[in-house]
Amino acid sequence: MDNAPPFLGVASSATGRRWTGPDAACDRLAETIAQATALPRAVCAVLARARVLPDQAESYLAPTLRDHLPDPRSLLDMEKAAARFLHAVTQRERIAIFADYDVDGGASAALLICWLRDMGCRATLYIPDRIDEGYGPNDTAMAELADTHDLIICVDCGTLSHGPVAAAKGADVIVLDHHLGGETLPDAVAVVNPNRQDETTDLGHLCAAAVVFLMLVESNRQLRTAGQTGPDLMGLLDLVALATVADVAPLIGVNRAFVRQGLRVMAERKRIGLRALADIARLDTSPRAYHLGFVLGPRVNAGGRIGAADLGARLLATDDPHEATALAEKLETLNAERREIEAQVRAAALKQAETRGVDGPLVWAAGEGWHPGVIGIAAARLKEATDRPAIVISLDGDLGKGSGRSVPGVDLGAAIQRLAHEGLLLKGGGHKMAAGLTVARAQLQDAMDRLGELLARQGAADREVSSLKLDGLLMPGAVTPELIDQLDRAGPFGASMRAPRFAFADMAIRSTRPMGESHLRLRFGGDHGPALDAVAFRAFETGLGAFLTAAQGRRVHLAGQIEINSWGGRQTPQLRLDDAAAPDAV
């Protein structure tokens, strides 16, 4: 645990968290940035947390692809992949795209489909059914695709698919992936993956769509060398941004530039499918990284989770407005169904995990017939509730299929892959923060015990009281649209770069109003100056709702993220409230 005193003296908040503020080095750097620039102190605090130096501040706030895009050829097999891809295009070969069923897989497939369409080519899209076929290529599907195609491109999958690649007899296979590779690679024409074990680049943070985009950059380069012009790539960055955020890729380096530029592209609303989805989701503001991860991403994912696996990819790739509307409506319906199913599984998984105990290095639950499409979300909720790596497993007959989510500093994918090598799992893999597995029911307990041991070695059991990290103090009057806009420039925020969060000390809650079944609206302020509106989502699912309701008229410390609330054509600042504490919360 941090030895520094808790921020504002809050050792145990309304949600049981310890508040922590910037360390001394971060405070000093923030002050140095403030003195060297005209930026608000709150923005300087966020830059200091990212360890941005004063002379780097302006370039950090305006990341460009020109400055951050890596040379695609730095990745192994990239030149071969692009050359084989272009050969298929110029010779009008039959191309199939085998994609994973999540947002990253769907966006990766859409990138290729849109690029090929601009070149006057078509491709067959194949996305496996989550329940019937599971994750990644399988022998039957690959063999059938090979019978009718010359080239199969596996996106967001395939690195560990030795058998299925070998089954694609008569067709060449290219793998464009980012999942952790094994000691050997499948016998494909090219395996482009920054997480191959023999890779030497520092690009392991890329999602699959980013890898696909780099392959298209290399393809355009090879076309220029041949005296031809390739399709525009900047207009495809909305897909890369969506995949980067939805796949929880770290928002560092080129990923920041991908998302920043991609959000600008998305704001132009030129992609028919995303426009239809944004409209049906009632997204009437310029999109932010939050919307990619929590508004658009779950809807794109809904088809792969509980409906037809290819709905999301088709929506992202379509150029037909009528098809876009129909697909968006279907995904909206499926997403509502997904939320209901998820709530049931989440409640059962949490109850089981709490009975088993949540103080160890691994929190896990397994249930008969739990829908495989929602176990990943349930695992994420378990992880959030316990601050531990979490696994949720759906049991069916002699097998269990599981999904896991990890916490910073604990590589879940590597541990699960080791478990597979040891024979305790039938299949398993992923990356640091998320992974999947297949286990024999008879080995379930042994596998989870062993996984707990491996995670304990990484320090997963050493996490004590969860903390709420804050960037400093604000007063309600300082929260303006201009400040929020300047803070947004320090983003995008997500994995590896959390959103700015500030505390408001000794505030009086002037009014509270329940919103729906579990949310709460309130208004607060100090002794003098303006008040500020706040919203606490799911407040009554924790102790926060009861605490805030009882605290009306009393002094409290509040903490959360400042944002713009767009409602009824008006845009006003508000606090998205994460936590609260009594001034003497020690």
CATH number for the domain including 506? 2.40.50.460
Tell me the backbone φ, ψ of residue 332, rounded to 5 degrees.
Answer: -65, -45
Give the Cα separation of 37 and 7 in Å (integer): 27
Q: Which range marks the domain in which residue 431 is found?
A: 357-462
Give the Cα separation of 254 and 214 in Å (integer): 11
Name the residue with tokens 């769907």.
Answer: 106
- Decide if 66 is inside a domain: no
Read off the tokens for 281: 């989701």
Distance spanning both ends of the chain, measured CA to CA:
15
- Decide if 422 is inside a domain: yes
Whether residues 35 and 122 share a domain: the answer is no
User: How many whole angstroms from its chain centre is CA 565?
Assistant: 23
Read off the tokens for 214: 């780099």
Whether residues 221 and 368 share a domain: the answer is no
- Decide if 232 is inside a domain: yes
Q: CB–CB of 430/379 below 8 Å? A: no
H or E stretch at 560 = strand 555-567
- Decide if 338 is inside a domain: no
Instruction: Give the up-direction half-sphere exposure of residue 568: CA atoms within 13 A in the CB hemisphere.
Output: 1
- Would you list the DSSP string of 345-398? HHHHHHHHHHHH-SSSS-EEEEEET--TTTHHHHHHHHHHHHTS-EEEEEEETT
Cis ω for the linkage preceding 492 (within 30 of 0): yes
pTM of the model: 0.86
- Decide if 63 is inside a domain: no
* CATH (domain of 264): 3.90.1640.30
pLDDT at 462: 78
Whether residues 136 and 106 share a domain: the answer is yes
Q: Domain ends where: 294, 315, 332? A: 332
Give the Cα separation of 156 and 172 in Å (integer): 17
Strand order in the sheet with 427-430: 363-368, 390-396, 399-405, 434-440, 427-430
Whether residues 17 and 88 share a domain: the answer is no
Whether residues 554 and 422 share a domain: the answer is no
Whether residues 195 and 242 share a domain: the answer is yes
* CATH (domain of 435): 3.10.310.30
Whether residues 151 and 235 share a domain: the answer is yes
Whether residues 30 and 103 share a domain: the answer is no
Read off the tokens for 525: 């302020």
Give the Cα separation of 79 and 496 in Å (integer): 30
- Decide if 65 is inside a domain: no
Read off the tokens for 213: 């985009």
- Decide if 341 is inside a domain: no
Assign residue 7 a region: left if phi > 0, alpha if psi is -120 to 50, beta otherwise?
beta
pLDDT at 359: 87
User: How many whole angstroms from its chain centre is CA 104?
Assistant: 9
CA distance to 18, 28, 34, 497, per residue, from 48 (Å):
22, 8, 10, 12
Q: CB–CB of 557/531 below 8 Å? A: no
- Closest-CA residue to 378 (of 414, 415, 352, 403): 403
pLDDT at 464: 62
Whether residues 49 and 97 share a domain: the answer is no
- Closest-CA residue to 151 (of 87, 231, 196, 101): 87
Is 552 exposed, middle or buried (CB count within 10 Å of its CB: 0-12, 13-18, 19+)? middle
- Closest-CA residue to 548 (of 98, 15, 168, 6): 15
CA distance to 137, 146, 561, per residue, from 140 (Å):
9, 10, 49
Whether residues 126 and 212 share a domain: the answer is yes
Whether residues 90 and 199 share a domain: the answer is yes
- Going by DSSP bridges, is the β-strand pair 467-469/427-430 parallel, antiparallel, or unpaired? unpaired
Whether residues 304 and 243 share a domain: the answer is yes
Q: Domain ends where: 462, 496, 522? A: 462
pLDDT at 1: 45
- Closest-CA residue to 174 (of 191, 187, 162): 191
Q: Domain ends where: 407, 431, 462? A: 462
User: How many whole angstroms from its chain centre is CA 352?
Assistant: 26
- Decide if 348 is inside a domain: no
- Mean pLDDT per block of 10 residues along the chain (586 residues) reads 81 93 96 96 97 95 94 98 98 97 96 98 95 89 98 97 97 97 96 97 97 98 97 98 94 95 96 97 90 95 89 98 98 94 94 92 96 92 90 96 92 94 93 92 97 94 80 96 94 89 96 91 90 94 90 92 83 95 78
Tell me the backbone φ, ψ of residue 306, rounded to 5 degrees.
Answer: -135, 5
Q: How many domains does the chain have?
A: 4
- Closest-CA residue to 508 (of 532, 485, 487): 532
